[in-house]
Amino acid sequence: MNKKVIALGLFVFSLMYVQCKKDSKITTEYPNNKVVEKKQNLVGSWSAIEVSDDIRNLAQYVIIEKNIKSSINIITKASTQIVSGKNYRFDISLKDGNKYMAQVYVDIKGNKKITTFKKIN
């Protein structure tokens, strides 16, 4: 019985390790035509993602919470990190010319918290 449990545990660990080491092919184009085609998908590491409705909603949440009066022009450099929930990081360019980097933590219940918000050039 113990040998079966150990063998099963090693098998599950091997599958998790292979999945974490597997390259995921994500193509992301940034404003100055920089293209990222591959990111290594490791648990806890940042992975580039497309700017989706979820990212747009998080960016709008940040703008409202930070009481910013200008509207969003473009969202770039979106990435995510799996933790005990998910971290989302992205750059926001506003119509008034200001640019910000924001990071939002979303827990497993869907609660949001802005963890980083800073002006960038």
Tens of pLDDT, residues 91-119:
999 999 999 999 999 999 999 999 999 99
What pTM, to 2 d.p., does this model score? Answer: 0.65
The torsion region of residue 95 among left (phi > 0), alpha (psi -120 to 50) and beta comes to alpha
Positions of E strands within the chain? 23-29, 35-40, 46-48, 72-83, 85-94, 99-107, 112-120
Q: Residue 5 pLDDT > 60, yes or no?
A: no
- Buried b / exposed e along 52-77 (16+ C-beta atoms within 10 A): eeebeebbeebbeeeebeeeeeebeb
The reported pLDDT for the residue numbered 18 is 45
All structural domains of the chain with their residue ranges: 25-120
**Is residue 28 within 8 Å of residue 48, measured between CB atoms?**
yes
pLDDT in tens, 36-83: 554 555 557 899 999 999 999 999 999 999 999 999 999 999 999 999
The 8-class DSSP code of residue 71 comes to P
Fold of the 25-120 domain: Nuclear Transport Factor 2; Chain: A, (3.10.450)
The reported pLDDT for the residue numbered 24 is 46
The reported pLDDT for the residue numbered 105 is 97
The 8-class DSSP code of residue 1 comes to -
Q: Residue 32 pLDDT > 80, yes or no?
A: no
Q: What is the token pair recorded at 1?
A: 């019985």
The reported pLDDT for the residue numbered 11 is 59
| Residue matched to tokens 């969003």 | 72
pLDDT in tens, 11-30: 555 555 445 544 445 555 55
Q: In what order do the strands lie in the sheet with 99-107?
A: 46-48, 72-83, 85-94, 99-107, 112-120
Residues facing residue 82 across a β-bridge: 86
